[in-house]
Chain A
Amino acid sequence: MEDFLIKLPLLLDSMIRLSVPLLFAALAGLFSERSGIFDISLEGKMLGAAFAAAAAAAVMDSALAGLLAGILVSVALALVHGFASISQRGNQIVSGVAINFVALGLTVLLGQAWFSQGGRTPQLSPDGRFGELTLPFATQLADVPFLGVLYEGIISGHNILVYVAFLMVPLSWWVLFRTRFGLRLRAVGENPAAVDTAGVSVVWLRYRAVIVCGVLCGFAGAYLSIAQASGFTKDMTAGRGFIALAALIFAKWKPVPVMMACLLFGLLQAIPIQYPQISLPGIGIVPGQVMQALPYVLTVVLLAGFIGKATPPKAGGVPYVKER
């Protein structure tokens, strides 16, 4: 028990770090799906962005260049998805699956061709990464009971992208619910015919939503390879794009619940890291593999049973065709 309390700040700290890529990706999915474009290629876009970010950061020795490269690649993949599902009115699931496969293969192939390190990118120098920031007065306040620990141990000491991710939550909410763009975007996901008859272009609106999705996935990928880690490794997203999608559904396509869901999934991932050996009365020590599988198992359980009725945007997944 004592051990548990000592490690609690570390657990919460890990939770925040681990929930960031989920949060970026889930918010990306929020914009796309609210506009009626289902996107299971969050995973692929993240992976592509992670590779591009690490490669650019390694070559140019600049974290910012890495981030921009990641966003660029992710937006390019998002436009492919947009072209297939908006302009060509194709099946959005098939297009998404294709992008995931392309990203998985191409990142390793290009990584090997360019850097010859078995698909990895070179280890980044400190300049090529987003370093940790110590917020003002963190050290001074460290000794204050509770609040000091909260501030110094949990809130302070993350890289800039962590703060950006959490700022994205109120920003996304504001954009979606308080701007013209957001109103139209939500409308086009529910009833594109209503938007069309109101004299607004359905196609352009959906493209913009898909581009926003690409930008946010770019952040998610860059965070993985040039902030959390210092280089790209094969399949480093490890299904986070899909967990983000689960969080999005779990949160019923709403920004603040999305953050809560991502923190929950982050916590589930953090537990086996901070408490690799948990003993339960009557069972004994729970194998580490069970703990590591927990987030994935719980994703299934939560989605299957606990969220009640999740109503997706009504026009989601359906290409818009003017009826005859």
Chain B
Amino acid sequence: MGLVITWDRGTILLEGEVPNEIKTLSFIKFDSRVGKYRALAIYYPRLLAVAKSLGQEVEDRVWGLQCGEVRPASEVKLRAYQEEALRAWMRTKRGVVVMPTGSGKTHVAIAAIAQLKEPALVVVPTVELVQQWHAKLRHYFPGRVGVWYGEEKRESCITVITYDSAYTAVEAIGNRYKLLVFDEVHHLPSQSYRQIAELSPAPHRLGLTATPERADGLHVDLDWLVGPVVYRITASEIRGVWTADYEIEIIKVRLRENEAKLYKELEAKYLAYLRKKGLKFRSPSDFQKLVILSGRDPRAKEALDAWHEMRRLVLETEAKVDAVGEILSRHRGSKILIFTEYTSLARSVSERYLIPLITHDMSPYEREQIMAMFRRGEVKAIVTGKVLDEGVDVPDVDVVVILGGTSSARQFIQRMGRALRLKPHKAKIYEVVTASTREVHTARRRKKGVS
């Protein structure tokens, strides 16, 4: 009966005739619990290749495909550089396509699905992105697109799923899709999400991102999880041609008198501890030292608490809520996206100006309704924490307000990108920063390398 391979919850089981050359492969182990050989599902294509080179007959029972052929109802039209990206990927049907925000990565993926005609699992970071991909895919593959997140689980030939759901579900549904598409693929190499790629046998994989690099260096693993970068085009290569031009304005606000006093006190406490211990912070990893110290030393814990409190003060000051009023009155009629670091500030803005709020603790139903209203232009502004950092596609946003954020350049680029879909006029980015505090440096750091 030859070599029989089957699917078992994210792994491949080998039964029947297992040649020695296969038994001794580094990625194959004997599982004494079931008395069979086993491999992570990601090795499926390699296993087949080895069997073929040995002339070993294989009975392949791995697949329980979601459906047969997936055909688009209408032609997918691509711009020249999208066409180039698709061709580069189709050579091996594996790999990462790097394109700036607003350049239409989604269409490259849709074209790839249309060409392969195989059931596909599309993995995206947020519920908003699930909705958005669903809407776009449905246009080309009517009646064949499902969604899977939170309570809603409807599978179809093409299923759009969040990273969180896919992490759990891959054991159950991994063998139903031959193509994996990872949107914002820089999330994938993390300790848990990478398992989506490892526990799937899909031979074809496409990753999309504007910025594959990760601070922790794990992006090198994308090579084996998805495939190498097969195409890259930068923002400057298409700026002004395909995406909008922009202008950044910094608005400085001052802490309230009582807030400023508290800030000074906290800062003194924090700095005193650093001086005493001779600590100097030159990079983010130096800060980790303080975090580690705080586990043992109560004084370090106090210093760390002071730092957190300072951060909260500058990011959440009422003065920032006031500044929003000023910006709103300058841009009546424009579409505005407001970002905060903490949910509490987002709430204050929402309650004061009656602007809808998108945060992770709101119900998915309300989030969906709000996004739809925003797209239709029935509401002109939205305030959000971090959930809309990535990928939300509202073509005519022309003002982005950043009330608070980290020093990460990636976050800054992603947020800015929300306003950079092609439009005839310049996009406006506001950064609201608390004067004479550490936030001034944070804001400077995140703009390094952005021009």
Is this pair of chains taken from one and the same complex?
no
Which residue numbers of A lie inside 8 Å of B, CB to CB?
none
Which residue numbers of B lie inside 8 Å of A, CB to CB?
none
